[in-house]
Amino acid sequence: MSKKVQEYCLFLLGEIAKNENGFVSLDTLLSFNRLKSISEDKDLIKEALKDSEFLEVDDEKNMVKRTTQIQKTILNWNHGVYVSGFPEDLKDIVGTAKEIFNQFGNVNFVKILRNKDKLFKGDVLIDFNAEEPAAKALEKKTLEYNGSTLKIIKKNTFYEEIKNKEYGTRKKDRYEEFPQLSYLPKLVVNEQEIKNKFKANKNKSKGDKKSVKKASEKVEKKDQKVDENEKKKIEENGKAAQKQDLTGKRKAEETNDSEELKKVKVGEE
């Protein structure tokens, strides 16, 4: 299962969890290009789904949900094996893989694994029609093919190794809120991963709030400092004005005294 498919599964499971009855809106489903490419007419889609044996339609709210449990056989990874070691220049990859592994039972499907340059890297995923042939192949552990040693491991083990390389080892939880989803593989739903993402977003939100609070406190302190400086200036200006008034009064008094003294002297003469 590709990373993109896993993301779609996680997204849909999250949408299902939002509704207490497990419904998903048609608008959400129409956000997927595959359904959108068939039709964007909600009435037409609802009409087509009315005859479905495993989907229930809520006409009033334009919502859909599963009514039957996903069959374990559909998602049972015990039917598959991962095989590595094929020659990278092998021509008929699917035919060769089927020819080798049909000895254990019917091979339903062979998936060729390629590198980022879309070249065969010598690995394939093989799905049998039941668990028994897969178990027989796993018992062998290795097979020889034209001088190459083919290594056989569980398909689930292969996906777990990829996941651990990409995300690191994490606690594996099964999503069990809705019984019809109980057989979904653990790789598709990792409850701890959802919790970690929620926690990370919560911590980020707290960090943002702290940053805003610090910035606000900084502005308040700056404003207080400005207010204190303004207050000091006003006080200093007031004192200067008061001092100037006193000086003026003294000068006026001295002038008056001088004039009075002159008058007295003139009178005496």
Q: What is the pLDDT along the chain (269 residues), one digit of tens a residue?
A: 555 666 667 677 778 777 878 888 888 888 888 777 888 888 888 888 888 878 888 877 788 888 876 555 444 667 889 999 999 999 999 999 999 999 999 998 898 998 888 899 899 999 998 889 999 999 999 999 999 999 999 888 887 777 676 555 554 444 444 555 554 554 444 555 656 666 666 666 666 666 666 766 766 666 666 566 666 776 676 666 666 666 665 665 656 555 655 554 545 54
DSSP letters for 18-68: HSTT--EEHHHHTTSHHHHHH---HHHHHHHHTT-SSEEEETTTTEEEE-S
DSSP classification of residue 69:
P
List the beta bridge partners of residue 120: 114
Q: Which architecture, in CATH terms, is 3-66? A: Orthogonal Bundle (1.10)
* Residue 129 near residue 108 (C-beta atoms within 8 A): yes
DSSP classification of residue 251:
H
DSSP classification of residue 149:
E
* Residue 151 near residue 85 (C-beta atoms within 8 A): yes
CATH number of 72-167: 3.30.70.330
pTM value?
0.39
Q: How far apart are CA 41 and CA 174, in angstroms?
A: 35
Domain boundaries, the chain: 3-66, 72-167, 190-269
